[in-house]
Amino acid sequence: MDFLFIDWIIIAAYMILVFYLAIRAGKETKSLHSSGKVRAQEQYLANKSLTFTESICSIIATEVSALTFLGIPAFAFNKDFSFIQIYMGAIIGRLVIAKVFLPKVYDQGLTIYEVMAKETGLPSGQRMVAIFYAFSKILSVGVRLFSGSILVAHFVGMDVYVGLAVVTAITFFYTLIGGLKAVVRTDILQLGLFVSGGILAHYMIPQTSGQSWSELMSIAHAAGKTSFFNFASPWPFIFGILGGILFDMSTHGVDQDFAQRLTANHSLKHGQLAIFFSSFASISVGLLFLGVGALLWAHYQSHPFPSTIANADHLFSHYIVNYFPVGIRGIMVAGVLAATMSTLDSSINALCATVYNDIFPNRNAEKMSLYSTIDTMVITLLLFIIAVVASTNDGLLMLGLKVQSWTGGALLGIFLTKVIFKKWFLFRLSAFSVIGAYIFGTGGVYLNTQILQWDWNLNVYWGCVLSMIFLKIYATLKPMQTNQT
């Protein structure tokens, strides 16, 4: 289906506005004669100038991604509303982050991994934590990047890999221009766009289906599509809540991508409020897009299912391209572009911060701008490669989440032992201790998924507990002298 002029205008206007915000944000935070250290603060912490509104909007925009726009409707289409359990558990997880984690890391370093190694760590330990984080982050975000290219490719009529390359290139340039401030400013715009897209979908699907919204939702409800709790079998709900608590602590608490949105806030209090209240906003967004999946399922009970669609991941994008009118389609494509780029831009910025500060901390600080360009280019290319690999998998939403659960527990375990409970874990953070923690942590995930075959939501628990057990053994066998603390 060919592009229509009005759709082009809408998408072009969105792209122009994104670059305008990036350039303006860059001018606000960057000084002409600053040192390398100051430029790093400008690029990766926005000179600690983020407001409550900027922080909370950026958190939501980053976490939902294109997986929310396309993957969550696919989840509801195939199953039900049970995905909301993770968001419900996140309320507790983010309360812990706000009250316990954030006061320990705010204003303590450029990255959260620097904080882990600040008092009793070796450079090799800090570097190894950052490497493991970067590896898992690139894997999980690569999946999200591919999911966002699906609609673009469908809409333009191009190969999905070409669409993937276009989205990646655009995000690379505006992220490089403005740093974290540009990322956050554009995230506000992008949040508004993809939420508007979700609301429009609730209006347009009934319009094109020939049935009212209430009729479609009643059909879905009668089939159990809107259910998130089963009284006859409550354990999936309990596992979902429990999984959401620790999973969110590992993503939003010790992931540099989210942590920098809190530590870059101009005050600790506003950062705490932003992370806690973001959980309620996330539930609202999750329900919005789960509702889209329920509406689509009900629609296709009385309409032929498209023969060209291999799986539900592509269903919403197919529906937009083929059923939404001119103008609305342009807004929807801009919305999924926003969802994709809001995740990609923040991840690139966070990964570049860890490369600069933790993995290669001894590079010439005066060449920070050059290194930032190189780092951004390499990381963007790696994300593109992972996205191509992810294109061969179905169920993109769960794939993206499970990748994070494989290593998130070990990262959380290291953070807890070195920042929260450091008095009971007297050891130096070294490359060996980090590698051991990750081996035990991923071993715990393997035990949970392959041997016990328990719910994947418990992956982070097993990873966290097993990594902490190893670190306690390590601290016992190779204790750090008390006077070194």
Residue 427: the pLDDT is 92
pLDDT above 90 (res 103): yes
pLDDT range class, residue 57, cuts 50, 70, 90: confident
Residue 172: the pLDDT is 78
Residue 323: the pLDDT is 85
Residue 148: the pLDDT is 64
CB atoms within 10 A of CB 280: 12
CA neighbor of 379 nearest in space, from 187, 114, 185, 141: 141
Contact by Cβ (8 Å): 434, 129: yes
Looking at per-residue pLDDT, the higher value among 484 and 43 belongs to: 43
pLDDT above 60 (res 189): yes
Q: Which residue has the tokens 């701008």?
A: 369
- The secondary structure element, H or E, covering residue 226 is none
- For 328, residues 6+ apart whose C-beta sits below 8 A from its C-beta are 200, 204
Tell me what the mean pLDDT of segment 362-388 comes to. Answer: 84
Tens digit of each residue's pLDDT (9 = 90 or more) over 282-293: 999 999 999 999
Residue 472: the pLDDT is 96
Tens digit of each residue's pLDDT (9 = 90 or more) over 411-466: 999 999 999 999 999 999 999 999 999 999 999 999 998 999 887 778 999 999 99
Looking at per-residue pLDDT, the higher value among 39 and 296 belongs to: 296
* DSSP three-state, residue 361: coil
- For 394, residues 6+ apart whose C-beta sits below 8 A from its C-beta are 310, 311, 313
**Ranked by mean pLDDT, which of 110-124, 139-153, 261-275, 323-337 comes out on top?**
261-275
Tell me what the mean pLDDT of segment 335-340 comes to. Answer: 72
Residue 1: the pLDDT is 46
Q: List C-alpha distances in Å: 469 to 69, 277, 300, 416.
A: 39, 33, 50, 12
Catalogue all structural domains in the chain, each as residue range(s) with its CATH number. Answer: 5-393 (1.20.1730.10)
Contact by Cβ (8 Å): 442, 407: yes
Residue 29: the pLDDT is 58
Residue 32: the pLDDT is 44
Looking at per-residue pLDDT, the higher value among 14 and 39 belongs to: 14
Residue 368 burial (C-beta neighbours within 10 Å; 0-12, 13-18, 19+): buried
Residue 484: the pLDDT is 43
Residues above pLDDT 70, as percent of the chain: 86
Looking at per-residue pLDDT, the higher value among 40 and 290 belongs to: 290
DSSP string, 97-133: IIIIIHHHHTTS-SSHHHHHHTTTB-HHHHHHHHHHH
Q: Which residue has the tokens 């980090």?
A: 434
Query: Mean pLDDT over all residues of the chain?
Result: 84
Residue 222: the pLDDT is 95
Tens digit of each residue's pLDDT (9 = 90 or more) over 297-318: 999 998 888 877 767 777 888 8
Residue 178: the pLDDT is 59
DSSP character for 428? Answer: -
Residue 398: the pLDDT is 54
Looking at per-residue pLDDT, the higher value among 173 and 440 belongs to: 440
pLDDT above 60 (res 207): yes
Alpha-helical regions (H) of 300-367: 315-323, 328-354
Tens digit of each residue's pLDDT (9 = 90 or more) over 7-24: 878 888 888 887 777 777
> What does the alpha-carbon distance between residue 13 and residue 1 come to, in Å, rounded to a whole number?
21
pLDDT above 70 (res 35): no
Looking at per-residue pLDDT, the higher value among 404 and 362 belongs to: 362
Tens digit of each residue's pLDDT (9 = 90 or more) over 376-396: 899 988 888 887 776 665 555
Tell me what the mean pLDDT of segment 103-125 comes to. Answer: 89
Residue 19: the pLDDT is 78
Residue 33: the pLDDT is 44
> What does the alpha-carbon distance between residue 464 and residue 33 come to, in Å, rounded to a whole number?
44
pLDDT above 60 (res 397): no
Residue type, 252: H
Per-residue b/e over 424-452, b at no fewer than 16 CB within 10 Å?
A: ebbbbbbbebbebbbebbbbbbbbbbeee
pLDDT range class, residue 485, cuts 50, 70, 90: very low
What separation, in Å, do the N-terminal and C-terminal C-alpha atoms of the chain show?
66
